[in-house]
Amino acid sequence: MIYRQLGRTGLRVSAYALGTNSFGGRADEATSVGIVHHALDHGVNLIDTANVYTAGQSETIIGKAVRDRRHEAVIATKAGLKTGDGPNDSGSSRHHLFREIEGSLRRLQTDYIDLYQIHAFDPATPLDETLRALDDLVSQGKVRYIGCSNYDAWQLCKALWTSDRLNLVRYDSVQPPYSPADRRIERELLPLCRDQGVGVIVYFPLAGGLLTGKYRPGAPPPPGSRAVTQPRFADQFLTDARLRLASEMAGLAQEVGVSVAQLTLAWVMAQPGVTSAIVGATRVEQQAENLRSVDLSLDPAVFDRVAELSA
């Protein structure tokens, strides 16, 4: 396994991170526990979840899976999205974060979170309130490092400035979408993170399954796929241009003797500034196949081809 420093911290995390939003949903508990154990057995230490994934079941399953192996896992969870119908059941206020951390700790059966992330920018809460709350959670020992997710470059820059100005803990990582089908973060966010020493943990490295070979131009999506169960995904990702890219990537992968998912993950993990790529699984066999991407030794010219195809 490849391990990288998380931003400016001394924490080392696996370049391949386990995504768990299917736990308790598309993957039942027994299968999910098996996926976690397989990941740990193969050197994956970064496990990403959130309080809202499958209504908390993801965290609960992870807690059971790592109960006797807590020291091997770097658990990253999130808070900030809607958890109920009350007026304070979302956002990154002190009130909401202090309540949600307790729920996550209980479900995960742990007394600390390695990386606590704000799930999305909250324009209704001042950044200094959010960062003071996170600073307190670190001081209390409930959180070791903090991060954010789905922040634009200006939002992250403002947060870093606020932390520096008020002498508060600063975001050690950001979690944006990134793949050959979505390279928007290359314009501003990645350069900012390289300059400021912020780790980048990307999600959707396979574009939500688009770059796995399951979707083809002119063919209906396979039954049970995300494009069928989540119509918004189909509207966002299954465009003619992206389906064409998926087809071209599949051809290139066949040319070099790997799966299109392996080629895509290897390219994402090799990009400057990327710390880790979050990869989900609903079967151990699927994870084993994708994990081969970590050890691929591909000619740089192949990665150049990927960049050209996706440009």
Report the CATH number at residue 91: 3.20.20.100
Residue 278 lies in a domain: yes
Residue 186 lies in a domain: yes
Q: What pLDDT was estimated at residue 239?
A: 80
3-5 and 12-14 as β-strands: parallel, antiparallel, unpaired? antiparallel
Please report which confidence band the pLDDT of residue 229 belongs to, taking 50, 70 and 90 as the band edges. Answer: low
Please report which confidence band the pLDDT of residue 241 belongs to, taking 50, 70 and 90 as the band edges. Answer: confident
Position with higher pLDDT, 222 vs 311: 311
Please report which confidence band the pLDDT of residue 178 belongs to, taking 50, 70 and 90 as the band edges. Answer: very high
Residue 311 lies in a domain: no
Structurally, how many domains does the chain consist of? 1
74-79 and 46-48 as β-strands: parallel, antiparallel, unpaired? parallel
Residue 259 lies in a domain: no
Residue 131 lies in a domain: yes
Query: Taking residues 144-153, what's their average pLDDT?
Result: 98
Q: Is 145 a catalytic residue?
A: no
Q: Which of 53, 116, 178, 203 is catalytic?
A: 53
Residue 141 lies in a domain: yes
Task: Give the structural domain span for 129.
Answer: 3-208+271-296
Q: 77 φ, ψ to 5°?
A: -130, 175
Q: What pLDDT was estimated at residue 236?
A: 72
162-176 in b/e form (b: 16+ CB < 10 A) is: bbeeeebbbbbbbbb
Is 70 exceeded by the pLDDT of residue 301? yes
Helices assigned H by DSSP within the chain:
29-41, 57-65, 94-108, 127-139, 153-166, 189-196, 226-229, 231-237, 240-256, 260-270, 284-291, 300-310
Quote the pTM value.
0.93
Please report which confidence band the pLDDT of residue 218 belongs to, taking 50, 70 and 90 as the band edges. Answer: low
Q: What pLDDT was estimated at residue 234?
A: 67
Residue 266 lies in a domain: no
Residue 87 lies in a domain: yes
Is 80 exceeded by the pLDDT of residue 224? no
Query: Taking residues 65-80, what's their average pLDDT?
Result: 97
